[in-house]
Structure 1
Amino acid sequence: MSSAETAANRGASASSRRSFVRRSAALFALGLLGVAALGTTVATQLRSIPLPPGADLPLSVLVAVSLLPTALLLLVAVVVGTYCAPRAGFRSHVDDRVARGTPALANLRPELPTAVGVGLAAGVAIVGLDAVAALVIPEVAQLQRAGGTPSVAALLATVPFRFLYGGIVEELLLRWGFVSLLVYLGWRLVGTGVGPSRRVVWAGILVAAVVFGVGHLPALVGTAGSLGISASPGLVARTVLLNAVGGVAFGWLFWRKSLEAAMVGHAASHVVLVGASLLGMLV
């Protein structure tokens, strides 16, 4: 190889690395919107609980320390997804915008009806399944009666967190990072075809959906325990199932449309969940 070819290859490699960093930075910045929403929730919680002796740091420092693990996990997921997602056949309009200059909003617009429709359907399915679970699992009924949001104002205060953290950060973690990694590794291990098969993609979506559901169990156990409710196998199964329903719906949007479509669908599902909670409080 001539010196000119070597220099050209080095230049192309450096350009590729810079593009990778810019793409990762853009998605990480998008995710920071959700981290900021989480920060407001953490700040509210810290104001309402007594701090242990010696924890006399400013509230802003305590919030920043609390958010650091989430921010680091988000960064890892973004970097992993930026490498794996395009190779596994997934796309992000923000990623495409940074990499190739394509218009993100214009390309997302045709996907919005499907994203909103799937998200609303997922929300209705979750509410319906939860209602059925309350009829057959006593602990679910107890949790619904005892663990409701105390006021309309308190419920509405959760909306930014639901939309920005749930809709953006969880999709970057679960779909862009985790599903992309699973599908890419599955494809490389199977080693068939020019891209992942439907089976490999569905396996990644389903595994991530179940993990998404399992990830909600610590909060369930804490909430149930504070209310004196047993975290029975039925209550655990209901929690995993309801969250997995959303995970499958958002994973399908990620696969068939884009990361941003999955984000919109996730946010739309919370419209139904918040609406159902409001209806339950007002009726």
Structure 2
Amino acid sequence: MKKSDKVKLGLLLFTVGFLGVLSLLTMEIPIIEKLKTEMSDVFTPFQFKLLILINPTILLIIFTVIGTSLYSKTGFKLPVFEYLTRKDKLRINYKEIVKFGIAGGIVSGSLLSFISWIFSSNIPDALKNFSPNIFNRFFYGGITEEILMRFGLMTLFVWLLQMIFKRKDQWTYWSGILLSSLLFGIGHLPIVNGLVTDPSSSLILYIVLGNSLGGIIFGWLYWKRGLESAMIAHIVTHIIFLITGV
């Protein structure tokens, strides 16, 4: 892929990812009451929301650059995004991308809904009542998080492992999937800490386990079918959540 095409690819991914970041403006940011009181003396609620956008925007820039630089070296694909940005067009099997994305989303959504049911007695009401709107779920969850965690972080892990061990086999891909999925699960804990003053170990296990399992499915799809399939699966997962009330 030519350098100019990669620049276009990176800009396109950042643009669609930033739409997800902007969707955070439409949700209530969970922060503990003490912090909320302290911040109210300095910032208005809307100004505080704008500040919240800084961190994910910086991460989006960093991981978009990392992913764009390394994804082709590790063998990952972005069929649709590549088609939109490269001069030499490649044939795309849209049916496979959509089919695996929907199937992966159904499996992920059903599995995580079942896990939520198992841990339901350990989930505080504050967390049960916290429900991101459809824009947050689809744009930030389904698109931005996949650019950050799969395209950026997972690609980086796989590239590092392949460089260190001088091998490009299933072990390096699965290790990248598991590492990025674990961090994906841990990355959801700050929201929990903002809603629950003293989260229990069972609640922490539920958050990390549930999101990590979803990350494994999305990571496998990114590896085997491309980033777009992982995005579709993530969005379908949230559709299942809306149906099951998770």
TM-score, normalisation: structure 2:
0.87
Q: Which has the larger radius of gyration?
A: 1
2:59 matched to which residue of 1?
Answer: 73
Taking the aligned partners of 1:32 and 1:109, their CA distance within structure 2 comes to 27
2:224 matched to which residue of 1?
Answer: 256
Q: Is residue 2:164 matched to residue 1:177?
A: no
Q: Is residue 2:199 matched to residue 1:231?
A: yes
CA contact (8 A) 1:27 1:95 kept: no
- From 11, 16, 26, the equivalent of 2:12 is 26
Identity across aligned pairs (percent)? 27
Q: Is residue 2:75 matched to residue 1:86?
A: no
**Per-residue CA distance 1:87-141 (angstroms, 9 max, x = gap):** 101011203431245379x54343111111111111110111121233xxx5x15
Highest RCO, 1 vs 2 (Cα 8 Å, sep ≥ 6) = 2
Taking the aligned partners of 2:93 and 2:199, their CA distance within structure 1 comes to 44
1:274 matched to which residue of 2?
Answer: 242
How far has the Cα of 1:30 moved from its partner? 1.4
How far has the Cα of 1:272 moved from its partner? 1.0
The correspondence of residues 133-212 of structure 1 with structure 2, limited to 5 A, is 133-134=119-120, 140-141=122-123, 143=124, 145=125, 147-149=127-129, 158-192=133-167, 196-212=168-184
Taking the aligned partners of 2:28 and 2:206, their CA distance within structure 1 comes to 27
Taking the aligned partners of 1:232 and 1:247, their CA distance within structure 2 comes to 23
How far has the Cα of 1:54 moved from its partner? 4.1
How far has the Cα of 1:261 moved from its partner? 0.5
Change (3 A) 1:16 1:147: closer
1:55 matched to which residue of 2?
Answer: 43
Change (3 A) 1:17 1:111: closer
Taking the aligned partners of 2:148 and 2:42, their CA distance within structure 1 comes to 34
Taking the aligned partners of 1:16 and 1:240, their CA distance within structure 2 comes to 39
Moved beyond 6 Å, runs of 4+: none
Q: Which amino acid aligns with 1:201?
A: Y
Taking the aligned partners of 2:118 and 2:28, their CA distance within structure 1 comes to 32
**Per-residue CA distance 1:161-188 (angstroms, 9 max, x = gap):** 1011000000000000001010011011
1:126 matched to which residue of 2?
Answer: 112
CA contact (8 A) 2:104 2:217 kept: yes
TM-score, normalisation: structure 1:
0.76
For structure 1, the 5+ residue unaligned runs are 1-14, 279-283
Taking the aligned partners of 1:217 and 1:40, their CA distance within structure 2 comes to 21
CA contact (8 A) 1:108 1:260 kept: no
CA contact (8 A) 1:26 1:95 kept: no
Taking the aligned partners of 1:66 and 1:21, their CA distance within structure 2 comes to 27
Taking the aligned partners of 1:77 and 1:109, their CA distance within structure 2 comes to 28
Q: Secondary structure at the match of 1:55?
A: coil
Aligned length: 240
Q: Which amino acid aligns with 1:176?
A: F
| Aligned alpha-carbon RMSD (Å) | 2.6
Change (3 A) 1:220 1:53: closer
Taking the aligned partners of 1:203 and 1:189, their CA distance within structure 2 comes to 13
Q: Is residue 2:192 matched to residue 1:220?
A: yes
